Amino acid sequence: MASLGELTAGIAHEIQNPLNFVNNFSEVSHELIEEMKEELKKGDIEEGLLIAGDLKQNMEKISHHGNRASEIVRSMLQHSRIGTGQKEMTDMNALCEEYLRLSYHGLRAKDKSFNASFETHFDSTLPNIKVVPQDIGRVLLNIINNAFYAVSEKSKVESSMSDVHYEPKVTISTTNMGDMVEIKISDNGGGIPEHIKAKIFQPFLPPNRPVRVPDWD
């Protein structure tokens, strides 16, 4: 649920985009219906049919963007659901892109000064694989958040240097390795300090030696 809270702003942004399209096309369609009625009253069947064609295209666009909003909600509910450990056939390219976008928009909503570009290089030959999507999603979210945090921190430092041109960027890629799937998340931030690298996979640290690592779970 804590992770879900971090995603709220990103989810709201992602849902608002398709909803804007739905509202806009609905408004235009309403105007087209009025135009079509006028043309039919005049007896201009040909013009009425042309307008009907435009209406059909608008309905298809409304359906497409409505389905997009439904997919976002479905992903959100999957993330908030208590995991049962049940593996599901999952499109890893879609999962990676979903969490990349949600992480970016979530951070943008929390900090308006935050800005970074992101790229995706997804292997189109990647088959759906059996994973627990909620668990993998949380892993992706944490690593992507760290990547954006790293480039954001470096950007703050570089912005004070007039002779340095720095463009923060996060990249995520997938590769079909045959018997496994490789996911790479990279950034051009400052990197992980050497004294922390040895501890990033350590699940529990002794209570007398606390180490603060931003965003790492």
Which residues are within 8 A (CB) of 111 and not within 5 positions of it... i.e. 6 or more apart? 152
DSSP calls for 178-206: SSSEEEEEEE-S----HHHHTTTT-S---
Residue 25 — very low, low, confident or very high, per pLDDT cuts 50/70/90?
Answer: confident
User: How confident is the model at residue 82, as a pLDDT?
Assistant: 54
Helix (H) or strand (E) holding 77: helix 45-80
User: How confident is the model at residue 156, as a pLDDT?
Assistant: 82
CATH number of 88-197: 3.30.565.10
DSSP-assigned beta bridge partners for residue 89: 130
Which of 33-42, 82-91, 92-101, 180-189 shows the lowest per-residue confidence on average (mean pLDDT)? 82-91
pLDDT at residue 186 is higher than 60: yes
pLDDT at residue 16 is higher than 80: no
Residue with tokens 């135009």: 35
Give the mean model confidence (pLDDT) for residues 143-168.
82
Give the domain ranges of the chain: 2-80, 88-197
How many CA atoms lie within 13 Å of 204's alpha carbon, on the beta-carbon side?
A: 2
